[in-house]
Amino acid sequence: MALYNISFIGAGNVAGSLAAGLAAAGHRILSVASRSGDSARELASSLGAEWRRDLTVPAECDLLIISVSDTAVGTVAENAVISPGTLIAHTAGSVPLAALGRSSGAGVLYPLQTFTKGFPPDLSQVPFFIEATDSATLNLLREIGESIGAGAWECDTENRKKLHLAAVFTNNFSNFMMTTGETMAREAGIDPVLLRPLIGETARKALRTGPEAAQTGPAVRLDTGTLKSHIELLSFSPQYQKLYRLVSKMIAGHYSKKKK
Amino acid sequence: MALYNISFIGAGNVAGSLAAGLAAAGHRILSVASRSGDSARELASSLGAEWRRDLTVPAECDLLIISVSDTAVGTVAENAVISPGTLIAHTAGSVPLAALGRSSGAGVLYPLQTFTKGFPPDLSQVPFFIEATDSATLNLLREIGESIGAGAWECDTENRKKLHLAAVFTNNFSNFMMTTGETMAREAGIDPVLLRPLIGETARKALRTGPEAAQTGPAVRLDTGTLKSHIELLSFSPQYQKLYRLVSKMIAGHYSKKKK
């Protein structure tokens, strides 16, 4: 496996996880830059890298990874000072490759995972989705994704946006359903922490068979009595009633279509 | 701990899990009855219990557990032939205690968990919610819940229904969001199995801090650009657009209320 010199602009949860993973895989982290100082300084020092406040990247850098907020990617790419031999990539699901403003030497390295400060995910399980302006950059990103993750899959900007949307449903929306479950438990005077084992088993079940096969409950079995009773229990909130009706209808529709 | 003689009517996933857990905790399973033969015969034989086709329960039975479909609970309770000393309980979240048709010796033992054939959950993590017509029955159900589960909590019929609704949001609805994530991945030409690590991390994160604190994504940070772009990507389905808009609005509303 080829080893590379890599710099970061950005020092958030994604940058922190990737930098640590890259260093562990033998790559060398040259520098970490960010306007907000502390997290970058901490990350740089933990990896024996240089901490920078400006956007100048060491000349021997092979790949600059820009891991900042979606709206900042373009400006950072424009203002980064790099050598002709340095490639640049961002890590955002929703940001086009074109935002980097280059016709060569630019790419995207999107990890399909949620990153939490202090709890880095197991990178070896994370699939990376890559796109690039040219095959040399694509190959380097493929090597990087394979060296630290579950592998690298080519995916253009449009499909990467769809994948990001898939991640919103899988992570953000399912998480909100669990939060709603907690709200209902509180309505019943029950400590929501007692729902945690159900959260765990819900994921284990979905991981075993995929979520589509794991579906149970009143909507999929068209148990109209229970559906009606649940809607009555939600009479304190027309919005929760609307949510319950819509999701139940979609579940019923999804599975009745499959049976046909 | 007192040990009891227990019979089952019903031999589905809940009955199977509970019967195995009760036997492992030292209770004696006397008999398992069900109209549909095979699963009951299998369960009875695995526990050294008698397999019955009728609803007559051995005279020395302390507790008859009725674990059948919601709509069948009442009829089964009416037709079960038991001795005067035998207590009876059902395990359903949505069925009132009154469905058992008795003013004494009847109760509910509701495990807040999802049960899958062939994959019994770790019962020691499962909270049991109990209700009874009288304190003797309540005490026995408490002992049972504590002997095989995470503990037993008193919960009346109305609040148990709310808990069951909480479980629908936590399990059924979050699972459907994950299924929707898979649908979107397919739209992007990506194998949905690549979303599995995200499913795992979503649950780990929710278990660490509770789902309310774990929330991330465009809706909670009011990223209107991404929200708009996602709605455009869903233009192939007005129903998915409606779902996306409603859940995003509810997430935004939930967290903006909390900040105030």
Q: What is the CATH number of the domain that holds B247?
A: 1.10.1040.20
A250 and A193: one domain?
yes
Residue closest to B101 by CA, chosen among B90, B110, B85, B112: B90
Q: Which of B112, B122, B204 sits opposite A194 (nearest CB)?
A: B112
Q: Count of CB contacts below 8 A, A vs B?
A: 307
B80 and B128: one domain?
yes
CA distance A59 to chain B (A): 35
- Provide the pairing of β-strand A50-52 with A28-33: parallel
Coil, strand or helix at A63: strand
In angstroms, the CA A19 to CA A6 distance is 9
Tokens of B156: 């009346």
* Structural domain ending residue among the three candidates B155, B171, B205: B155
In angstroms, the CA A244 to CA A231 distance is 7
Q: Which of A181, A205, A253 sits opposite B167 (nearest CB)?
A: A181
In angstroms, the CA B17 to CA A112 distance is 36
A90 and A38: one domain?
yes
* Structural domain ending residue among the three candidates B155, B170, B198: B155
Is residue A260 predicted with pLDDT exceeding 70?
Answer: no
The verdict on a CB contact (< 8 Å) between B167 and A182 is no
Give me the mean pLDDT over the B12-37 stretch.
93
B180 and B121: one domain?
no
Chain B residues closer than 8 Å to A242 by CB = 246
DSSP-derived letter for residue B151 is: E
In angstroms, the CA B137 to CA B132 distance is 6
B92 and B28: one domain?
yes
Neighbours of A1 (CB within 10 A): 10
A149 and A168: one domain?
no
Q: How far is CA A185 from CA A25, A171, B142, B186, B203, in A?
A: 45, 21, 20, 34, 18
Q: Beta partners for B33?
A: B9, B52
CA angle A184/A187/A192 to nearest 5° reads 60
A143 and A214: one domain?
no
Q: Which of A223-227, A255-259, B124-128, B145-149 has the lowest mean pLDDT?
A: A255-259
pLDDT band with cut points at 50, 70 and 90 for residue A162:
very high
Coil, strand or helix at B108: strand
Q: What is the ipTM of this complex?
A: 0.95
**pLDDT tens-digit map of A237-253:** 999 999 999 999 999 99
Q: What CATH number does residue A101 fall under?
A: 3.40.50.720
A142 and A67: one domain?
yes
Is residue A112 predicted with pLDDT exceeding 80?
Answer: yes
The verdict on a CB contact (< 8 Å) between A114 and B220 is no
Q: Which of B199, B201, B217 sits opposite A206 (nearest CB)?
A: B199
Is any Cβ of chain B less than 8 angstroms from the Cβ of A1?
A: no
What length is written for chain B? 260
A177 and A115: one domain?
no
**pLDDT tens-digit map of B95-126:** 999 999 999 999 999 999 999 888 889 999 99
Contact B19, B77 (CB under 8 A): no
B172 and B107: one domain?
no
Phi, psi angle pair for B81, to nearest 5°: -105, 110
Is any Cβ of chain A less than 8 angstroms from the Cβ of B199?
A: yes
Coil, strand or helix at B191: coil
Give me the mean pLDDT over the A186-194 stretch.
96
Interface probe for B, chosen from A171, A183, A232 (most Cβ of B below 10 Å), is A171
Q: How far is CA B84 from CA A78, A120, B2, in A?
A: 84, 59, 20
Give me the mean pLDDT over the B12-18 stretch.
95
B:60-99 residues touching chain A, CB 8 A cutoff: 70-71, 94
- Work out how many domains chain A is built from and give that number: 2
pLDDT of residue A119: 87
Mean pLDDT of chain A: 95
Interface probe for B, chosen from A14, A70, A172, A236 (most Cβ of B below 10 Å), is A172
Chain A residues closer than 8 Å to B165 by CB = 184, 230, 233-234
- Provide the pairing of β-strand A127-132 with A151-154: parallel
Is any Cβ of chain B less than 8 angstroms from the Cβ of A252?
A: no
pLDDT of residue B145: 96
What domain range is A95 assigned to? 5-155
B146 and B221: one domain?
no
Tokens of A113: 């995972």
Chain B residues closer than 8 Å to A190 by CB = 129, 153, 155, 159, 163, 166
* Structural domain ending residue among the three candidates A155, A172, A200: A155
Is residue B259 predicted with pLDDT exceeding 70?
Answer: no
B173 and B142: one domain?
no
